[in-house]
Amino acid sequence: MDKKEHTILVFGRIASMLSVLMYVSYIPQIMNNLAGNKGNPIQPMVAMINCIFWVIYASMQKKKDVPIIIANVPGVILGAITFVTAII
């Protein structure tokens, strides 16, 4: 593996971790929603739909793009939970 490939691999892993952390940040909003302090459901709904499309895209590739799938599955799950708890 040359230096450029290594750099791309490192950036890809960092980007995947940051994506997961971004969606983990929904946990406080979920807790607030469950405590009766409802948040706006639009942003988590749009994030969830976006992540669904990325997971489908990565899954449909000839060679599945596992890092994209891993980075977006938490967004599907946590976006859905945040959306539902914001509207109930």
C-alpha atoms less than 13 angstroms from C-alpha of 58 in its C-beta half-sphere: 15
* Residues whose CB falls within 8 Å of the CB of residue 51, separated by 6 or more in sequence, listed in order: 23, 72, 73, 75, 76, 79
**What dihedral angle (degrees, nearest 10) is formed by the CA atoms of 18, 21, 23, 29?**
-140
Token couple for 36: 């009766």
Q: Which helix (H) or strand (E) holds 61?
A: none
Q: What is the pLDDT of residues 9-23, one digit of tens each?
A: 899 899 989 999 999
Token couple for 87: 């509207």
Q: What is the pLDDT of residues 44-71, one digit of tens each?
A: 999 999 999 999 999 999 999 999 999 9
Strands (E), 32-74: none
Q: What is the percent of the chain with per-residue pLDDT over 70, rounded to a whole number?
A: 100
Question: Is the whole model's pTM more than 0.75, yes or no?
Answer: yes
